[in-house]
């Protein structure tokens, strides 16, 4: 037997920087964009409309709040289908002209077809439109929670690592304390009683995640502050804030991003788990992947495979993309 | 060592106070209090026909749940209620008045064995399979086997519990294969069967819940162990041992011990994960365990039961963290114990 097994430093299992390397980043970016602009992408109100000589943008209004009611005592969809030649009125519909809550009574639980490639659910709502709007939870719940946790966690971690002594002790104790909290119960509580506004859940998620950021940043700061170049910078008379901002902070950027990717995955899983259990309003989103999946799994026995398959794929793809992003950033962290 | 343990235990007690207090405050944050919600429910159900009695009913419930002072009928401040809870908890009167308390302990007695069984079996699976797979991949880091299996593990990481809890029952249970039951712990009418068949039936009911609960943590442990063992394999001392002409098998055993040291720390974090998992799994497979009890209690704003469960789980979590620190010290003598 030869002894070639164990000489590589760390396995080169990751692909080179090409399309494959960047694909999870692109996937995540795309999901975030879709989540932000969902009302412009899949909606049953026009992007741009001219009714009786007046221009308006109902879908944009939907993006910032509530879409205005349709013209002539009907819905926008009815108005749009009546548009024809010789009419002064004019409208551009979004690329996917179905809303997440629009009910199509003729298509209860229909299987996928050309007009609706992902089918309709039991109340006739278009599954694709609901999936697109479900991406909103990633943006409006996951992103604020992760950002808040990163900000608080990195700041406290850096302070603890650089100041040492009493501050370090207190922050470490705080981390330990947060780890012991029954976060899932708090999350359940926040979702059940503050479900329609995302603030409660964002707060609990941030409380869950800040420890990861604090621990990794603190660990890095402990080793960074002893490096020669930092000593040189200090010797040159640079102020502590300048050293921190110019010489220490850039060094932990990748660590923070990697942790953020992990936390994002955890946030998505947490939200969809809760909406799967039927708790809360999905952080205020119109549609939630977890709730869709629950509905789908209940209908699976009667053969509606499209109702559980597509939301399940959506959750899986986004979560795996988050983990891959973290994995791609890791070699730089380990080095 | 003794000083460390003493400081550590003291800190555990302080943490317990912190956790229970914060949970108490959080439970108080709900926009509508429990008494009012229950009365509204009763009015809707028609069990409380007279709306004139509403105020009295709310007041009575509030007295019962300790929200107002029984004599002056004034709301009691938070700190007073927390102090009352503490003094009751000290004598294990965790769920309000005597009758409620007895009922709570009875329910806990029925629920705890289910969760302990599920958790215990999952832990076995997690450590047996997770550590095994991790070592198997770690000693061959970079090989084809490692690359393929790591890819599979990464995909499984993306499988949240509730997704598995949807897919596995569909495949093995109600939709395609019809091999395994998907809810409860016993088949209807199992009481008349012979003991051996009852046992088989019970085991069949356990397979899917344990699988769903164990897969996530198993994958996490396997990935962690793989990285840790791979890193140990790349350490200079391994090259040195090879250069000395030590048998590769012997080197591999050495390196496993080295790579497995951090697993002890992981054990402490697993418990909260399993507690969280039990809430999801017990709900989906309709098992009457602690997770189900906790879910119902939060939904009904039953502060007493939530507090009791939080107390129990945080004691167990703190103890397991303590044990995992001690284990880490045993496996890796370089680790110093700091308070």
pLDDT of residue B50: 66
A134 and A75 share one domain:
no
Chain B residues with CB-CB distance to A269 below 8 A:
160
Query: What DSSP letter does each residue of B63-128 carry, written as one string?
Result: HHTTSB-TTT-PBPPHHHHHHHHHHHHHTT--SSSHHHHHHHHHHHHHHHHHHHHHHHHHHHHIII
A16 is a domain residue: no
Could you tell me if A103 lies within 8 Å of chain B, comparing CB atoms? Answer: no
pLDDT of residue A333: 62
A229 is a domain residue: yes
Cβ contact, residue pair A6, B238, below 8 Å: yes
- Strand ranges (E), chain A: 48-51, 54-56, 90-92
Distance CA(A117)–CA(A128), nearest Å, equals 8
Buried b (16+ CB within 10 A) or exposed e, A53-89: eeebbbbeebeeeebeebbeeebbbebbeeeeeeeeb
Distance CA(A95)–CA(A37), nearest Å, equals 12
A156 and A251 share one domain:
yes
Tally DSSP H helices, then E strands, for chain B. Answer: 14, 0
Cβ contact, residue pair B15, A177, below 8 Å: yes
CATH number for position A247: 1.10.3720.10
ipTM of the complex: 0.79
Enumerate the β-bridge partners of residue A90.
A50
User: Strands A48-51, A90-92: parallel, antiparallel or unpaired by DSSP?
Assistant: antiparallel
| pLDDT band at residue A57 using 50, 70 and 90 as cut-offs | confident
Chain A residues with CB-CB distance to B242 below 8 A:
3, 6
Residues 291-330 of A with CB under 8 A from B: 293, 296-297, 300-301, 308, 312, 315-317, 319-320, 323-324, 327
How many structural domains compose chain A?
2
Q: Which CATH architecture has domain B106-331?
A: Orthogonal Bundle (1.10)
Q: What is the mean pLDDT of the segment spanning A266-270? A: 88
Closest CA to B279 of B267, B264, B269, B289: B289
B260: CB partners within 8 A, 6+ apart: B131, B135, B225, B228, B229, B331
Closest CA to B300 of B19, B93, B23, B35: B35
> Per-residue pLDDT tens for A207-226?
989 999 999 999 888 888 88
Cβ contact, residue pair A177, B276, below 8 Å: no
A247 is a domain residue: yes
Closest CA to A97 of A40, A56, A43: A43
A137 and A274 share one domain:
yes
A182 and A81 share one domain:
no
A150 and A88 share one domain:
no
A56 and A184 share one domain:
no
The shortest C-alpha distance from A99 to chain B (Å) reads: 26
The shortest C-alpha distance from A191 to chain B (Å) reads: 10
Nearest CA in chain A to B320: A180
Task: Give the domain ranges of chain B.
Answer: 2-101, 106-331
> Per-residue pLDDT tens for B252-270?
888 877 777 767 777 767 7
> Per-residue pLDDT tens for B133-149?
888 888 877 788 888 88
A69 and A204 share one domain:
no
Q: Determine whether B35 is exposed, middle or buried from the number of CB atoms within 10 Å of its CB (0-12, 13-18, 19+).
A: buried
Distance CA(A245)–CA(B137), nearest Å, equals 40
Distance CA(A32)–CA(A239), nearest Å, equals 38
Q: What is the mean pLDDT of the segment spanning B21-26? A: 86
Range(s) of the domain holding residue A246: 128-329
Distance CA(A245)–CA(A251), nearest Å, equals 10
Q: How many CB atoms lie within 10 A of CB B174?
A: 16
A166 is a domain residue: yes
Could you tell me if A258 lies within 8 Å of chain B, comparing CB atoms? Answer: no
Compute the half-sphere exposure of residue A315: CA atoms within 13 Å on the CB side of its CA: 31
B167: CB partners within 8 A, 6+ apart: A312
User: Strands A54-56, A90-92: parallel, antiparallel or unpaired by DSSP?
Assistant: unpaired
A164 and A282 share one domain:
yes
Range in A132-141, A149-158, A278-287, B28-37 with the lowest mean pLDDT: A278-287
Could you tell me if A12 lies within 8 Å of chain B, comparing CB atoms? Answer: yes
Chain A residues with CB-CB distance to B142 below 8 A:
8, 11-13
Distance CA(B273)–CA(A330), nearest Å, equals 24
Distance CA(A290)–CA(A318), nearest Å, equals 13
Q: Phi and psi for A294 in degrees, rounded to 5?
A: -60, -45
Residues 13-32 of A with CB under 8 A from B: 13
> Per-residue pLDDT tens for A72-111?
777 777 777 777 666 677 777 888 888 777 777 777 777 7
Collapse the DSSP code of A90 into the 3-class scheme (helix H, G, I; strand E, B; otherwise coil) and give the result.
strand
Distance CA(B302)–CA(B289), nearest Å, equals 17
Chain A residues with CB-CB distance to B8 below 8 A:
none
The shortest C-alpha distance from A3 to chain B (Å) reads: 7
Tokens of A230: 């930092």
pLDDT of residue A308: 83
């Amino acid at each position: 037997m030869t002894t070639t097994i164990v000489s590589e430093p760390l396995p080169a299992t990751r692909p080179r920087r090409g399309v494959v390397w960047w694909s999870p980043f692109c996937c995540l970016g795309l999901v975030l964009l879709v989540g932000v602009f969902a009302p412009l992408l899949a909606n049953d109100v026009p992007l741009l409309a001219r009714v009786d000589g007046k221009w308006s943008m109902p879908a944009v209004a939907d993006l910032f709040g509530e879409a205005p009611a349709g013209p002539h005592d009907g819905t926008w969809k009815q108005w749009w289908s009546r548009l024809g030649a010789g009419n002064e009125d004019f409208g551009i519909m979004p690329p996917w002209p179905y809303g997440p809550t629009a009910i199509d009574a003729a298509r209860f639980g229909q299987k996928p077809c050309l007009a609706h490639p992902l089918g309709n659910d039991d109340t006739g709502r278009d599954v694709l439109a609901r999936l697109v709007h479900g991406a909103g939870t990633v943006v409006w719940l996951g992103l604020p929670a992760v950002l808040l946790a990163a900000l608080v966690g990195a700041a406290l971690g850096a302070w603890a690592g650089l100041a040492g002594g009493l501050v370090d002790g207190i922050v470490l104790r705080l981390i330990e304390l947060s780890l012991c909290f029954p976060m899932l119960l708090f999350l359940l509580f926040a979702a059940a009683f503050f479900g329609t506004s995302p603030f409660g859940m964002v707060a609990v998620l941030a409380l869950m995640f800040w420890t990861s950021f604090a621990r990794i940043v603190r660990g890095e700061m402990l080793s960074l502050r002893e490096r020669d170049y930092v000593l040189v910078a200090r010797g040159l008379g640079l102020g502590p804030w300048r050293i921190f901002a110019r010489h220490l902070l850039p060094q932990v950027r990748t660590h923070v991003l990697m942790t953020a990717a992990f936390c994002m995955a955890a946030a998505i899983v947490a939200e969809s788990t809760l909406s799967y259990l039927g708790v809360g309003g999905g952080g205020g989103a119109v549609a939630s992947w977890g709730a869709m999946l629950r509905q789908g799994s209940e209908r699976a026995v009667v053969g509606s495979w499209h109702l559980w398959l597509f939301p399940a794929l959506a959750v899986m793809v986004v979560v795996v993309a988050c983990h891959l992003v973290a994995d791609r950033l890791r070699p730089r962290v380990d080095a | 060592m003794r000083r460390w343990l003493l400081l550590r235990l003291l800190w555990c007690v302080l943490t317990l106070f912190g956790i229970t207090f914060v949970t108490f405050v959080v439970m108080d944050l709900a926009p509508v209090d429990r008494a009012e919600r229950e009365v509204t429910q009763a009015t809707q159900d028609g069990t409380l026909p007279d709306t004139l009695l509403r105020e009295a009913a709310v007041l009575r419930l509030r007295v019962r749940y300790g929200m107002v002072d029984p004599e002056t009928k004034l709301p009691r401040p938070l700190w007073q209620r927390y102090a009352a809870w503490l003094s009751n908890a000290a004598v294990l009167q965790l769920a309000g008045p005597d009758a409620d308390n007895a009922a709570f302990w009875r329910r806990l007695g029925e629920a705890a064995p289910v969760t302990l069984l599920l958790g215990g079996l999952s832990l076995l699976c997690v450590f047996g399979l997770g550590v095994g797979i991790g070592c198997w991949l770690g000693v061959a880091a970079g090989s084809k086997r490692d690359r393929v299996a790591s890819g599979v593990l990464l995909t499984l990481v993306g499988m949240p519990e509730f997704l598995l809890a949807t897919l596995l029952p569909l495949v093995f249970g109600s939709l395609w294969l019809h091999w395994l039951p998907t809810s409860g712990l016993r088949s209807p009418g199992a009481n008349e069967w012979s003991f051996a068949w009852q046992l088989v039936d019970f085991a069949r009911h356990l397979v899917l819940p344990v699988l769903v609960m164990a897969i996530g943590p198993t994958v996490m442990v396997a990935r962690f162990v793989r990285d840790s063992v791979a890193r140990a394999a790349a350490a200079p001392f391994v090259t040195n041992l090879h250069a000395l002409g030590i048998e590769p098998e012997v080197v591999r055993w050495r390196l496993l011990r080295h790579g497995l040291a951090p697993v002890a720390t992981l054990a402490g974090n697993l418990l909260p994960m399993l507690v969280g998992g039990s809430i999801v799994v017990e709900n989906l497979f309709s098992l009457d365990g602690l997770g189900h009890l906790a879910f119902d209690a939060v939904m009904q704003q039953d502060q007493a039961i939530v507090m009791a469960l939080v107390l129990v789980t945080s004691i167990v979590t703190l103890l397991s963290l303590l044990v995992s620190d001690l284990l880490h010290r045993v496996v890796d003598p370089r680790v110093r114990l700091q308070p």
